[in-house]
Amino acid sequence: MARTTPLRWRDIADDLRRRIESGDLASEKGSSERRPLPPEKELEQQYRASRNTVRDALAWLRQQGYVVSEQGKGTFVVPEPDIVDVTLRAVELGLAPGAVSDEWYNRDAAIPADRNATVSQVKVEIQEGTKVIARYLRTKSGSEFISRHQEIFLDEKPWVLQTSFYPLEFATSGASRLLLPRDIPEGAVAYLGEALGYREVGFHDEIRARVPDENEKRFFSLGESAAGIVFETVRTAYSADGNPFRVTVTVWPANRTRLHYNDGKVPDAVLRTPGLAPNDDSPPTSSPDGDAGSG
């Protein structure tokens, strides 16, 4: 870039960001390879700028999650993540997450069939619920709950953290399998229907973006940049009497996840490949309800 006057740090940062986003300085999308930026001295000459100005530009790019710096090695472009399109209201596309798994029944999300989802062993705890969980399940603050937590991996990479909460009285009233640290093959909601007569007639989703906690940063390999945030979805299931009986909290890395909903008549191509434009000749179809969920 030929200039007759020095550039401000923001001008340099914007130009480097543009070159990264265009692919001029970035690795191929989805690649784990990190391409180095030119050395600071070279950037000073290229932009006719002082060392401090270049360093201010690089600091901003680090803050925004475009680059990372390693002492003695240089500054590297962060590879663009492979975005996963997730349909939160699953349709008849198979079980999810992991449409090919016979052990994981979940209506909470559907993923593309060509992705391989695996799930960790269930971690079960009995704990005093937070005020937030107590509010969702309409119980008194300090009530005890069963929590069932799993880590979910997509193509062997950390993808989702999911925890479902149930009143402890469910286990003492006949649904004792909630306390076992293993999957419930027919799904926890179906099991509660068999054991306690609960039938899910609807659910409410709450979605927010937030700063991750330390465990989430570790699991998702997130840094301190503005790009290192997570989506949190809170799904509350309701029975026919209008009472909540299950809360599922799911945490997704926002920098590589797109969340989708479907309602009414939606083309098949959109249902099966969310995030891609449908074919013009795709006939419209309604979005059916899926099977009950697990957890």
Q: Cβ(209)–Cβ(203) under 8 Å? A: no
For 286, other C-beta atoms within 10 Å of its C-beta total 11
Average pLDDT in the 272-290 region?
A: 50
What percent of the chain has pLDDT above 70? 78
For 116, other C-beta atoms within 10 Å of its C-beta total 15
Q: What is the pLDDT of residue 283?
A: 43
Q: What is the pLDDT of residue 118?
A: 86
Q: Which contiguous run of DSSP H or E holds residue 246?
A: strand 244-253
Q: Give the side-chain half-sphere CA count within 13 A for 199.
A: 4
- Is 41 or 273 the better-scoring residue by pLDDT? 41
User: Domains along the chain?
Assistant: 9-77 (1.10.10.10), 84-286 (3.40.1410.10)
- Is 274 or 97 the better-scoring residue by pLDDT? 274
Least confident of 1-15, 51-65, 207-221, 274-288: 274-288
pTM over 0.75: no
Structure tokens at 65: 């999650």
The strand pairing partners of 292, in sequence order, are none
C-alpha dihedral (90, 94, 99, 105), degrees to nearest 10: 70
Structure tokens at 90: 């699953």
Average pLDDT in the 235-249 region?
A: 92
Residue 92, pLDDT above cutoff 50: no
Direct distance between the N- and C-terminal alpha carbons of the chain, in angstroms, rounded to an integer: 55
pLDDT band per the 50, 70, 90 thresholds, residue 291: very low
Of 136, 158, 159, give the one whose Cα is nearest residue 147: 136
Q: What is the pLDDT of residue 279?
A: 47
Residue 285, pLDDT above cutoff 70: no
Average pLDDT in the 133-161 region?
A: 90
Residue-wise pLDDT for 38-65, tens only, equals 999 999 999 999 999 999 999 998 888 7
Whole-Å CA distances, 219 to 54, 66, 115: 32, 20, 19
pLDDT band per the 50, 70, 90 thresholds, residue 295: low
Q: Can you tell me the distance from the alpha carbon of 34 to that of 65, in angstroms, rounded to the nearest whole number?
A: 13
Residue 96, pLDDT above cutoff 90: no
Q: Cβ(192)–Cβ(176) under 8 Å? A: no
Structure tokens at 189: 């909601």
Residue 241, pLDDT above cutoff 50: yes
